[in-house]
């Protein structure tokens, strides 16, 4: 890989360079970490939006609508569609991409599906790195769309600035969903397909759980809980204010309410910037990223460059016969690694 050529192509917004940079990162090809290290100084301009929710909530349709809305506002948009549920729903994403055709011929739009398999160090890390490439390539907004299956909402909220949770009346069990910790990580709630029965009820349930109907009582408590007495040396630090997570109603297929979703995302962005929370979130993400890179590199080193695999196979007969357990073999390998480590 000619790193310099790739970098200048990327900075010149050349589609071929972008595609090559992304596939280099996605497949962990030789030089991918040098590429990511080189673009590190270029990232931070793009604003990253997470779009998550259960299967059938209309995430793709909403994403396509958001793309059009941002384009109408003169901003470029990249979409990263992640489906951790394949192979069983493997067909769905392809359909989604076809549905996104209305925006796919626009050079200010870039759409990429992420493969689940074979990514070094996990899909989440790779997705974050692909977002970095898109950021360095100059996109104004990056939408990470992922089907909501457990860990993924958490992962998305950790990789984006604003996390949008899409629900539909059929999701049912509103309160149950909300109690599972999803409440805390979504910045904007959207009840999509709001022309169907049960939409108002779901919206009310979300709002009640959020405490909006209770005058935001416990949300203020939560906000104050986080307040630190501002030291005299930092008089300009803005007073912390709580973000009141909006609960919107949309019919994405018809475009109803989509402008309000864009507005809510942009209001959240303004709030993050005003309160200094944006910087805090991004710092946390950089620390987490570093940690992930260490984990990935450590795994690669241990299993590809040391005698660890051989050590396991040398003791496998003993492990099989029960003379020694995997835990003792692992402890011996770990002891070897710890020997003289300067950290």
Show contacts with a second copy in window 280-309 (CB under 8 A).
282-283, 286-287, 289-291, 293-295, 297-299, 301-303, 306-309
List, in sequence order, every residue forming a beta bridge with 47; answer none if it has no partner.
141
Count of positions on this chain that bind a second copy (CB under 8 A): 79
Question: What is the distance between the terminal CA atoms of the chain, rounded to a whole angstrom?
Answer: 33
Q: Which of 101, 173, 200, 241 binds a second copy (CB under 8 A)?
A: 173
Q: Which of 12, 45, 176, 227 binds a second copy (CB under 8 A)?
A: 176
Long-range pairs of 204-211 with CB within 8 A, sequence gap ≥ 24: 205/174, 205/175, 205/178, 206/167, 206/174, 206/178, 206/247, 207/247, 209/174, 209/175, 209/178, 209/179, 209/183, 210/183, 210/245, 210/247
* Binding of residue 234 to a second copy (CB under 8 A): no
Q: In what order do the strands lie in the sheet with 188-191?
A: 109-114, 77-82, 141-147, 47-53, 162-167, 188-191, 247-249
User: Smaller CB distance to a second copy: residue 7 or 103?
Assistant: 7
User: Using CB under 8 A, which of the segments 10-18, 62-70, 168-176, 200-208 binds a second copy?
Assistant: 168-176
Instruction: Give the C-alpha separation, 65 to 60, whole Å.
Output: 9
Work out how close the CB of 215 gets to a second copy at its nearest, in angstroms, rounded to a whole number. 27
* Binding of residue 275 to a second copy (CB under 8 A): no
Instruction: Give the C-alpha separation, 307 to 41, whole Å.
Output: 37
Work out how close the CB of 282 gets to a second copy at its nearest, in angstroms, rounded to a whole number. 7
User: Smaller CB distance to a second copy: residue 222 or 313?
Assistant: 313
Work out how close the CB of 329 gets to a second copy at its nearest, in angstroms, rounded to a whole number. 5
**Helical residues (DSSP H) of 276-307, grouped into ranges:** 277-300
Residues 85-124 that bind a second copy (CB under 8 A): 85-91, 116-117
Strand runs labelled E in the chain: 47-53, 77-82, 109-114, 141-147, 162-167, 188-191, 247-249
Work out how close the CB of 326 gets to a second copy at its nearest, in angstroms, rounded to a whole number. 4
Q: Which of 14, 19, 41, 245 binds a second copy (CB under 8 A)?
A: 41
Work out how close the CB of 291 gets to a second copy at its nearest, in angstroms, rounded to a whole number. 6
User: Smaller CB distance to a second copy: residue 206 or 333?
Assistant: 333
Residues 177-206 that bind a second copy (CB under 8 A): 177, 180-182
Beta-strand relationship, 47-53 and 109-114? unpaired
* Binding of residue 54 to a second copy (CB under 8 A): yes
């Amino acid at each position: 890989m000619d790193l310099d050529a790739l970098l200048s192509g990327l900075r010149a917004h050349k589609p071929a360079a972008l595609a090559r940079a992304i596939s280099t990162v996605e497949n962990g090809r030789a030089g991918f970490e040098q590429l990511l290290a080189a673009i590190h100084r270029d990232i931070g301009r793009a604003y990253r939006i997470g779009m998550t929710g259960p299967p059938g909530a209309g995430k793709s349709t909403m994403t396509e609508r958001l793309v059009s809305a941002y384009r109408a506002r003169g901003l470029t948009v990249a979409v990263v569609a992640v489906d951790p549920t394949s192979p069983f729903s493997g067909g769905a994403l392809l359909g989604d991409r076809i549905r996104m055709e209305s925006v796919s011929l626009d050079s200010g739009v870039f759409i990429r599906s992420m493969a689940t398999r074979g990514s070094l160090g996990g899909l989440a890390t790779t997705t974050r790195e692909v977002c970095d490439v898109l950021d360095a390539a100059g996109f104004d907004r990056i939408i990470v769309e992922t089907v909501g299956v457990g860990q993924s909402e958490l992962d998305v909220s950790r990789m984006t600035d604003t996390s949008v949770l899409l629900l539909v009346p059929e999701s049912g069990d509103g309160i149950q969903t909300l109690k599972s910790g999803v409440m805390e990580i979504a910045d904007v709630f959207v009840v999509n397909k709001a022309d169907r029965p049960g939409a108002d009820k779901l919206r009310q349930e979300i709002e009640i759980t959020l405490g909006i109907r209770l005058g935001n009582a416990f949300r203020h408590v939560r906000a104050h809980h986080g307040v630190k007495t501002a030291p005299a040396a930092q008089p300009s630090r803005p007073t912390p204010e709580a973000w009141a997570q909006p609960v919107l109603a949309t019919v994405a297929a018809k475009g109803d309410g989509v402008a309000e979703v864009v507005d809510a995302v942009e209001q959240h962005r303004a709030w993050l910037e005003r309160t200094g929370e944006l910087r805090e979130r991004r710092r946390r993400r950089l620390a987490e990223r570093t940690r992930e890179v260490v984990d990935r590199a450590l795994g690669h080193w241990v299993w590809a460059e040391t005698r660890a695999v051989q050590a396991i196979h040398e003791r496998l007969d003993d492990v099989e016969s029960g003379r020694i357990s995997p835990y003792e073999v692992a402890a011996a390998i770990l002891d070897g690694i710890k020997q003289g480590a300067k950290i």
